[in-house]
Amino acid sequence: MKFINLLSACAVIFSQVVSTSSPEIESEDAQLYFEELAVKYGHPAQKYEVITEDGYILALYHLPGSKEVPVLLMHGVFGTSDIWMLRGNISLPIVLANSGYDVWVGNSRGNRYSRRHVYLDPDHDPAFWNFSFHEMGVYDLSATIDTVIQKTGVKQLNTIGHSLGTTLFYVLGSIRPEYNARINVFIALAPICYLNHIQPLSSTIAKFVPVLGEILNKLNVHELFDEPTRSIVEQFCTLPVVGYKLCVEEVLFTFIGRDPEEISPEFARIAYPHFPSSCSLKNVLHLAQLHNRKVFAQYDYGFLRNRRVYNSSVPPEYDLKKVTMPVAITVGRNDKLSEVEDVETLRRKLPNVVSYEVSPREEFNHLDDIWGAHMDVYLYPFIFKILEQYSES
């Protein structure tokens, strides 16, 4: 009897230790989407439609705040605006809005919220999927920035990108340099530009992707993670125990770096219904080219077609010297996609890096910036320091 009491006392103490050391997991958030999550955490969002020059219809969410300079957040590959909102009350848009920031969250073409076009049908027109991060930068990011400027009447905004969401800024800043002046500061979380140092499995897959791409194109597959595929991934990856073991431990952590303390099984069950979201095959082919060709350049169509598209047998490189916006960079030591050596190369090539931080946490991986259980402790001070510094200037 005594022993049982002792055991149950231990269990109570243990559960308290566990519950104070890791934030509450709100399991219903798995099935809530951007607007519902925004309401639940106290900041009802307004939704805008952004129409790009080439006809894509993008969703843009706004959590109104009183501070003058708005903050725009851009998600990475296979993401949506939701990936920023999965950590309940420590989600970045919520924490920013709680501090009075006027927060805008974008969605790039092809994802769940931006799978629309004025005349192309994503389900029947392959031309809808004829884009990569190049078009997301040149057309989507520019139109999104212009919409925020138009709605708020400001001249400049603060911006935060994660992963491929950062690439869009280097593309836009180099192809349309006039946009540099519209950005007060750009905070690059886990930046993606050079992919020279990625390791197996990512590097192996990058080598294999062009062949796979040919096959999928022949099979008339141009969209990755369409709704039926996404739903199968969700069902499998949210299975108890085995879902986490295979989808996170074996697959996701191999790509992004292992950090089970920050990205736990309970959290993964919330994340998988939201990720991966749809995107074009061409986007992944272009990403693979960054590794295979070891340059940050436009899409490589092959020798003959390059001549027709670019008037040159090789695709033009993006000129990072033209990306003159102030950039604050942070990268994790254990980030297997944004390898520190590659981020160093980016840092050397950008002319206006105002802050650079390699996270002191050894386990900091590629998704801890958006999904880490304690990112409010190890990441947000960096973000707030930069935003505060640039709200004065």
Q: What share of the chain is helix, strand, coil (3-state, %, to 5)?
A: 50, 15, 35
Q: What do you get for the CA distance between the two ends of the chain, in Å? A: 68
Which residues within the stretch 213-252 sit at the binding site for ligand NAG (CB under 6 A)? none
Is 233 or 309 the residue whose CB approaches ligand NAG more closely? 309
> Tokens 């969703």 label which residue?
59
- Candidate residues 6, 12, 127, 377; the one interacting with ligand NAG per rule CB under 6 A: 127
Given 43, 274, 291, 366, the catalytic residue: 366
Strands 223-224 and 279-280: antiparallel
> Shortest distance, CB of residue 90 to ligand NAG, whole angstroms?
6
Least distance to ligand NAG from the beta carbon of 251, Å? 30
* Active site (annotated) includes residue 366: yes
Tell me if 355 contacts ligand NAG by CB under 6 A: no
Residue in 108, 132, 142, 163 annotated catalytic: 163
Nearer to ligand NAG, 130 or 254 (CB): 130
Interaction between residue 89 and ligand NAG (CB under 6 A): yes
Number of residues that bind ligand NAG (CB under 6 A): 7
DSSP 102: -
- Choose among 136, 114, 182, 190: nearest CA to 298: 136
By CB under 6 A, residue 156 contacts ligand NAG: no
Binding mask of the shown chain, residues 14 to 43, with x at each position contacting ligand NAG by CB under 6 A? ----------x-------------------
> Could you say which of 246, 309, 340, 358 contacts ligand NAG (CB under 6 A)?
309
Report the residue number, 90 or 290, with the smaller CB distance to ligand NAG: 90
Active-site residue flag, 163? yes
Which of 112-119's residues contact partners 24+ apart within 8 Å by CB, and which partners? 112/80, 112/277, 112/278, 113/34, 113/58, 113/59, 113/80, 113/81, 114/56, 114/57, 114/58, 114/59, 114/140, 115/278, 116/56, 116/57, 117/55, 117/56, 117/57, 118/51, 118/55, 118/57, 119/55
- Residue 61 in 3-state DSSP? strand
Residues contributing to the site for ligand NAG (CB under 6 A): 24, 89-90, 127, 130, 309, 311
Catalytic residues: 163, 366
